[in-house]
Amino acid sequence: MIEVRQLTRRYRDRVAIEDLSFSVREGEILGFLGPNGAGKSTTMKILTGFLPPSAGSVKVGGFDVVTQPMEVKRRIGYLPETPPLYPELTVHGYLKFVAQLKGLPGRGLQAEVERVAGLTGVGHVLARGLQHLSKGYKQRVGIAQALLGSPPVLILDEPTEGLDPTQRAEVRALIKSLAGRHTVILSTHILPEVTMTCEKVLILNQGKKVAYDDLRSLTAAHGHAEHTSLEEVFIKLTAA
């Protein structure tokens, strides 16, 4: 579903991503990890068409992000690290607005808004203004807008940021339930979330891929004990 080949992105004299290649199969959840400044957000912006690559290629559902950007965007639901909310709108008004931007048919629009609101637990605050919601609820609305139209690919950048432990567990369960129906790239600095939701893990450090494997193989290859944690592997691989 996602094919990244020799992807490089430069900002003048700084290389943000260098020669990055990976693929994500249909219905798979990929955990996308790396320390601050590793190139995670830059990679996500290229995948979603917000940034052009300096070199290399990215295909989503067989469509190239550079030459067929609209086809790619139709297939992606994106939650950036800071949800793109308009504080003066109600939750319902905002989700309806995003649904219209996505070109969803007017006849089923209300039902689709209610579907994603129910999935993300914001159905009871549809009439509330976004500016009056807690950070946790704003994050849920951000996930809801990404789910509108059931795009085959979801790219979620820190989806549980600012949530309390109960909300975090609920969102984690939601993301896990999407496996099979959606291909998901989940970027987070909360490693237990990756362990609980993802099948494969990609670790970036200083713009380069330092690991890309399923969880069990990764901990087996880089750990010395039977119960080596993802956190131990992460620290080891990003220490340089």
pLDDT in tens, 100-129: 999 998 889 999 999 999 988 899 999 999
pLDDT in tens, 136-170: 889 889 999 999 999 999 999 988 877 888 888 88
Buried b (16+ CB within 10 A) or exposed e, 42-57: bbbbbbbbebebeebe
In this predicted structure, what is the pLDDT of residue 225? Answer: 56
| Residue 46, in any domain of the structure | yes
Q: Is residue 30 part of a domain?
A: yes
pLDDT (0 to 100) of residue 94: 97
Asked if residue 197 and residue 176 are part of one domain, the reply reads yes
* Whether the predicted model's global pTM rises above the 0.85 cut: yes
pLDDT band at 240 (very low <50, low <70, confident <90, very high): low
Residues 6+ apart with CB under 8 A from 14: none
Distances 34 to 20, 55, 121, 129, 216 between C-alpha atoms, Å: 13, 21, 29, 35, 18
- Does 40 share its domain with 142? no
Please tell me the distance from the alpha carbon of residue 129 to that of residue 90, in angstroms, as a whole number.
4
pLDDT score at 223: 66
Q: Is 35 exposed, middle or buried (0-12, 13-18, 19+ CB in 10 A)?
A: middle
Tell me the β-bridge partners of 77.
154
For the record, the structure tokens of 138 come out as: 């704003």
Residues 163 and 146 in one domain: no
| Boundary-marking domain end, from 131, 151, 171 | 151
- Which comes out higher in pLDDT, residue 189 or 61? 61
Residue-number span of the structural domain to which 176 is assigned: 2-75+152-237
